[in-house]
Structure 1
Amino acid sequence: MIHLPLVRQGPLRALAVRVALAVTLVLVTVTIIYLDRDGYRDINEDGLTLLDCFYYAVVSLSTTGYGDITPYTPAARLVNILAITPARVLFLIILVGTTLEVLTDQYRNSLRVGRWRRKLKDHVIVCGYGTKGRAAVAALLENGWDKARIVVVESREDAVRQAASNGLVAVEGNATRSAVLNEADVKNCKAVIIATDSDEASVLISLTVRQLTAGQVRIIAAVREQENAALLKQSGAHHVIVSSATAGRLLGLTTTAPPLIDVVEDLLTPGQGMALAMRSAERAEVGQNPRELKTLVVALIRRGKVLPLGGDQVITIDTGDMLVYIRADESAVGAAI
């Protein structure tokens, strides 16, 4: 099931509004009938009491119409044509309003899903909307990624509601199933981020994605244990982040060199001071030493391989290289890593 971001009125409030409208309509109808009660004739021919007016209003609005009370003067019949009949139609609309709303919502949601599918292309699928999944989405948004190009796949109902309330499209279901990933249009996506709480589930999702896309979609996954990283790469993941090992290294770094952890956090947090970014090498930069550029380049990516710039080896920029550099917050936004 696909959940598009939608602000909806609470069911209790919607029901209360309908009940209030129905009661108000009945009272208005009773008032009209009571003011013109001399133009009505009942089976006892003893005139209409206030209770008779309530009775006639209810049976008329509900289209029951027993016929024991009828308008007989021209004025009363005109009032029935101009007021009671429209009120009867309106009352029926209120009574079946819930059904009509459900059908309308289903039709509207079907149109929105169809429109969303037609526009969806080169999107990112995030499997899991827990702590890691939310952090991954936040990083994408902070680097200028459009919310409309992020699709969350989550089996937990509360997480699905949270993703939808945050303005994201959420597919409810288990990401290890091919049908669920196809609902997220995995074959046309740009990347799949696997941020589940289980390493076993991450491996199964990676295998499923690789099978559905023939290995044409980039898979980025997080695992808890280092020993599962190799298994996940064999399953088709292009990049694997070991959360426990990474956290352990950061803890050790904080202990031995506390100021360095602040630099690392600054680099990994877009919009705050410095940030890691990546861009293509410009034509004028080809053949130059990256260290001689005004931009602080820390690495080159050539044909998918990272070339560090440390040591005595001199590396020059080739056509097609990607430059990994450190940019300041006020500089032009690059593609964050």
Structure 2
Amino acid sequence: MLGDRRSLGVSDRPDFALVGLLRIPEIQTSPWISLSRRVAFAIGLLFSAALVVYFGRDGYHDNSGDELSFLDAFYYATVSLSTTGYGDIAPVTAHARLANIVIITPLRVLFLIVLVGTTLGVLTERSRQAFKIQRWRRSVRNHTVVVGYGTKGRTAIDAMIGDGVQPADIVVVDTDVIALEAAANAGLVTVHGSATQSDVLRLAGAQNAAAVVVATNRDDTAVLVTLTARELNKAAKIAVAIREAENTHLLRQSGADSVVVSSETAGRLLGISTTTPTVVEMMEDLLTPEQGFAVAEREVEASEIGGSPRHLSDIVLGVVRGGQLIRVGEPEVDAIEAGDKLLFIRRAAK
């Protein structure tokens, strides 16, 4: 039995054991709204207890000998739920005492928990997270897993959100607690662990992801993460950022669909900026989806089939056919075919 527990993978652990490793963002509400809800709930409990006592008032004894009014019932509910208990009103019949055991006592406990709101939050946070983790793991599909929340990872996420991807559809995997805290504050789902381990990627739902973005600080780590991600998911699009161009073929062999050489790309832009800085400005414009122009992909419309991409109203840069990019001007794309996709320049929404 002990050996089985030790061999249990991260993704196979029960949901409550994943709290702290997998974090689902919560919707932030005003503390005044939260306080108002708790006060309203406490008042509702008081009225519920008062109604129980009032409807069973024949089973209660008042020291003054008068019949209990609703005010008396509310008074008894107040002193009872607050555990004050002056003893001036007490249940004397078996029916009233049973009601106190079955109804008033549970309400008293719940009332006290509501009053100690901070304690309640601490006690229930783990349970809430475990429930949210369970629900998220059952429903997560076609999301994007981003490995690494450094400069490259954050920029990639900003670009995706700028293109309309919802933050809830992005999962960040990192070993840096501070980076994960920043990602969680941005409304992203986070997983604490090394993405070189298949269990960690499986916990992030990589096996059901539509895309995996690898933005690690080391090329060798990127290769191992890509191999692991491709083993888990044969169909996902895997995009990887590396520092050295000589490692590109390793990433391709490992299963990467796109490889971006960050150092060489930055170097080219720096070189171009010395002679034609406006070209660099335009490139930055195209890579910033929130403003100016952006490069986008769309399906071919029925009316465009058979025509030339150079004669369309959109500025078409290339045609994606069978998963392969063919640049405009090459004879293979003189006529658009059904099933093609067009890479074109669109004006970004302001």
Partner SS, residue 274 of structure 2: helix
1:303 aligns with 2:298: no
Summarize deviations over 1:269-313 as a string: whole Å, max 9, x none: 112111111111111111111111111111111111111123688
CA apart distance, 1:7: 6.1
CA apart distance, 1:86: 3.4
1:205 aligns with 2:200: no
Q: How far apart are the structure 2 equivalents of 1:290 and 1:217?
A: 28
CA apart distance, 1:163: 0.7
CA RMSD of aligned residues (A): 3.0
**TM-score, normalization: structure 1?**
0.71
**Amino acid of the structure 2 residue aligned with 1:165:** N
Residue pair 1:6, 1:165 contacting (<8 A) in 2 also: no
Q: Tell me the equivalent position of 2:252.
A: 233
Q: Flag structure 2 segments of 5+ consecutive residues without an equivalent.
A: 1-20, 36-62, 65-71, 84-107
- Aligned residue pairs total 269
Q: Tell me the equivalent position of 1:263.
A: 282
CA apart distance, 1:120: 1.3
Q: Flag structure 1 segments of 5+ consecutive residues without an equivalent.
A: 18-73, 332-337
Q: How far apart are the structure 2 equivalents of 1:280 and 1:8?
A: 38
Q: Which has the larger radius of gyration?
A: 1
Residue pair 1:206, 1:237 contacting (<8 A) in 2 also: yes
Summarize deviations over 1:234-288 as a string: whole Å, max 9, x none: 1121111000010011111111211111111111111211111111111111111
**Equivalent residue runs for 1:31-70 within 5 Å:** none
**Amino acid of the structure 1 residue aligned with 2:241:** A
Change (3 A) 1:118 1:84: same
Summarize deviations over 1:69-90 as a string: whole Å, max 9, x none: xxxxx69xx9x97766533467
**Equivalent residue runs for 1:168-183 within 5 Å:** 168-183=188-203
Partner SS, residue 297 of structure 1: strand
Summarize deviations over 1:170-222 as a string: whole Å, max 9, x none: 01111111111111111110010001111111111111112222x32221100
CA apart distance, 1:114: 2.2
Q: How far apart are the structure 2 equivalents of 1:315 and 1:201?
A: 42
**TM-score, normalization: structure 2?**
0.69
Partner SS, residue 82 of structure 2: helix
Q: Tell me the equivalent position of 1:64.
A: none
Q: How far apart are the structure 1 equivalents of 2:349 and 2:155?
A: 23
Change (3 A) 1:115 1:314: closer
**Equivalent residue runs for 1:108-187 within 5 Å:** 108-187=128-207
User: Quick one: which of 274, 288, 294 aligns to 2:293?
Assistant: 274
Amino-acid identity (%): 43
**Amino acid of the structure 1 residue aligned with 2:145:** I
CA apart distance, 1:92: 6.7
Change (3 A) 1:82 1:147: closer
User: Quick one: which of 82, 105, 110 aligns to 1:87?
Assistant: 82
